[in-house]
Chains A and B, each alone.
Chain A
Amino acid sequence: MLTFLIIIPVLIAVLLFVLSTNRAAKILAIVFQSILFVASVYIVIATREADIVTFVGSYDDVLGIILRVNSLSAVFVLLTTFIFLAVSVYSYSYTEKRDTRTFWFLMFLLEASFIGLFLAGDLFNIFVLVEVSTLVTVILTMYDRSKRNIFHGKVFLMANVVVAQFFLIGLGYIYRLTGALDMERVTEALGLIDGSNLALPYVLIMTTVAFKCTLIPFFSWTPKARIYPNAPTVVAAILSGLQAKTALYLFICFQDMFQNIASQEFFLVIGIITGLFGAVMAICQSDIKMILAYHTVSQVGLIIIGISMGSLYSYAGGLYHIVSHAMFKTTLFLSTGIVIHSYGTSDVYKIRGVMKRMPVVGVATAAAVLGITGAPFFIGSISKYFIAYDAPPLLNIVTIVLSLGTIISFVKFSSIFFGHSELVGDIPKAEKCRIIPVFTMGAICLAGGLFGTQFIYHLFRFQVNISIAGYAQKSAIFVISAAAGYLIYQHIVKGNAVLKRLGAVNFSFKSVCASLGVFFAVLLVFIGFF
């Protein structure tokens, strides 16, 4: 039954390619997408009791390839289908002159590879599907064939191939140690092996996973490759929303597998540095989409902090932040697409007056911005509250500083809301099919905040509670940080030449690969000595 979840997107892809870009094809795509979404909701409910397992090809337990859904992967599958549904509705009236058939063919193949990744119960399937999704992603980012995009796409692909070889050799060590590649068996078997023998495979695999998560020092390949000016907005939305999530899913799986290795502090520190660095880089950018992309790096750092902190509340907060980040980032990217089409430029210094020109889109974007900065009653505050729940005071200060960084970069972003601008782009008025998904996701940003604990319970089966005093304290801190952020932006950040140059920092391919070696060595030394 689970095989259908993977096959249906491929069938949709072929269907769209054959039927070409007329209305029937797109309506069918939206219909099938909704069916997939309903199926994934059903799976989330069904995996509350037990995992669903399918043996591909109806072989026996030991011999076959397994597709497995546990409650964690069910949530990721739900996210995938939901975001793809929103994107399909958004681009119902895609009137771009590019070859739309091929574009949608690739997008649905991408969806199939993501769903396959979350359903795979076998480490080698994960390797194959990671490679497939990387490849399709690269082709999508180079879609407009501009030389700059091709160059960055090439760097992206080459770096990913290098990193995949690390993964392969790590897999080889795991296979030799445990004799199995099935994820459950590997987890059981690795639990019996003492941590000191696992150092090399662990470091090899975590180098790969950290690279794909865009942790420090690997932060620079993704924004440049993903969204340099002309990549289609829906691609940027999918990539920022979902690609990072696949890497985080792998991170969670591998941390579970190698439970005998105590590397929590290492990833905590890495998460903190990533969060700070991402926020600083986001502040320096002048293109709306680049602000959002670097900000994703910062949020991934925050999620890693939540997952590595070690307490139940922060783990739940980290997981919920994955969901909330997907929600508000996709909202922001889609509404940014509408704004860019309306104004004809993506320069944050030139766009003004979004609230007046497109009020509905403006409200939804404002909801997403409030969500992302952690305003009370919005979705971001719940997850940030849980991540910092029982943290030692130093970590509390760090998360407040991270939120401050987020607020400053979004003060910069929200300068597009008010004021007046004469620019008019090629699609001046936002179309209904584009407003609907943006508005829905903006509403979810609000609902996810108001009903945060219920969402966490239904999605992840964690029973967590918010104390009113703590939450009120957090809200007070938010208001103070918002004011501080606004002041800092006006006086320090605006027009700062140093920051402008920092924003153009770019790692070449060789530096990216060299940083791989640095990370590998540092992690190996850390594991070796602790």
Chain B
Amino acid sequence: MKGKGALWTIFLAVIVLALVFVFAGSGLNFEYIIPKRLIRLAAIIVGGICVALSSIIFQTLVNNRILTPAIMGYEAVYLMWQSMLLLVLGTQGLVTIGSGGNFFISSILVLLYSWVIHRWLLGNGNNDIYRLLLVGLVLTMVISTLTQFVQLRISPGEFAVFQGLSYASFNRAQPATLLYSLVALTGVCVVGRKYLPELDVLALGRDQAMSLGVNHSKLVGLYLALIAILVAVSTSLIGPTAFLGIFVANIAYALTASRRHRLTLPTGCAIAIAIFLVAQFLVEHVFNYKTTVSILVNLVCGAYFLLLTVRVRGTL
């Protein structure tokens, strides 16, 4: 199962999983159950694609396979905003703003944050990605600590709401937010597609890529901006996914035995969607909402990834 073969197998699996997810135990109820499930399915697809694309491209840019965009503090900004919202307006505030409003404001905040740190650290020809990562990591910690302070001030009831927001969940998505996400995602894909071959070359490192005619700083700037959009969308839509992208990316590398983005990106998307589908299905039908998607995903992916390392040792 290598390369294109792996891709088709996974696509087929995703379609089967999606059908099972939508129809299993639905009693073919087209008035309520199935439309609700279709919305969740759409959230899973959009979220999965966002997580996979952002993680794989981010790993290429920073030339590291154990990082995800979460290290840049995007999700920390989202969580801080949610906790501030609860502190200032209380649970009532969330209702007033509505999930659409919350989606918009948190996306814009994440984008604003990324714009500021990119300008600050990558502006005027500066091209030090490690500095960017370091500052991102420090900011993540600072912002998370601030969030913890805020958490201590809010009531236990509000804290429960906050905790709900800090896990990935597909039940939050609304048709309207899904539509906005889809538009943003399509835009990112159209722009990002143009430089896919250059991404492959970036993996050779900055100097070699430049020697092969790739405008490194321009490309890094562009893709970091696209990643920020993807993370803003996925975080606002389904919540923080933290290091889930690591599993998705590395499973994609292992299954395709390749680092060509033309293969790894679609495979990664399919893997993310498949993982989310399985996790959400288990949450709904087996655990009856007594556990969260995040916990299941980490458990299942962690186990699967360890299995992969053992099975295909040396080719990772």
A is bound by B: no
Residues of A within 8 A of B (CB): none
